[in-house]
Amino acid sequence: MTENKGRTITEDDLDDDEEDEDTQKDKFLTFTVGKEDYGLEIYHVTEIIGIQKITEVPDMPDYVKGVINLRGKVIPIMDVRKRFKFEERAYDDRTCIVVVNINDTSLGLVVDTVKEVSDIPENDIQPPPDIAEGNRQFFIRGLGKVDEEVKILLDAEKLLSKGELSQVNAAVGK
């Protein structure tokens, strides 16, 4: 269980059993990176953990910080700030690793702060704008309206290309 501003995220929120697929529809784990709020479809999220020691792996892209050992499983770690070419900042007690499952591969995403699980119905999601900074637009699934705020909804499957995912898997022995 992870305690965050506004709401406690429980195991039930992160449960990815097929029978719960309908209850996960329109649910997004929201988090901050820099000054913006982002969201990932909850069915990709397996767990949220605090920042821990990351072992560097040579010859990886700079945004792949290395790997962690999570209960005996080696998980590659990607720093979302670095992936989006944001200015680096030191990790602190609010920094989290969001472990996601993408095409049967576990990947840890370092984010500044995890916020909550939000309901964002499909009719409240707009396509991404044609103009966006750098390569971030490629990762954007859409823009979700939550009350008066806008959440940038990421396409988890595009955070690493198939080639990058293969390179990371090869480095960790998969």
114 forms beta bridges with: 31
As beta bridge partners, residue 97 has 49, 110
CA distance 17 to 114: 22
Q: How many residues does the chain have?
A: 174
Please state, as a whole number, how many other Cβ atoms lie within 10 Å of the Cβ of residue 23.
Answer: 14
Q: What is the pLDDT of residues 37-88, one digit of tens each?
A: 999 999 999 999 999 999 998 888 889 999 999 999 999 999 999 998 899 8
Q: What is the pLDDT of residues 10-37, one digit of tens each?
A: 555 555 444 455 678 899 999 999 999 9
pLDDT digits (tens, 9 = 90+) for 87-128: 989 999 999 999 999 888 899 999 999 999 999 999 999 988
125, HSE (Cβ side, Cα atoms, 13 Å): 20
Q: What six digits make up the tokens of 90?
A: 């030191």
The CA distance from 174 to 156, in Å, is: 20
Three-point CA angle 53, 10, 141, nearest 5°? 80
Whole-prediction pTM: 0.81
Q: Which domains does the chain have, with CATH numbers?
A: 2-171 (2.40.50.180)
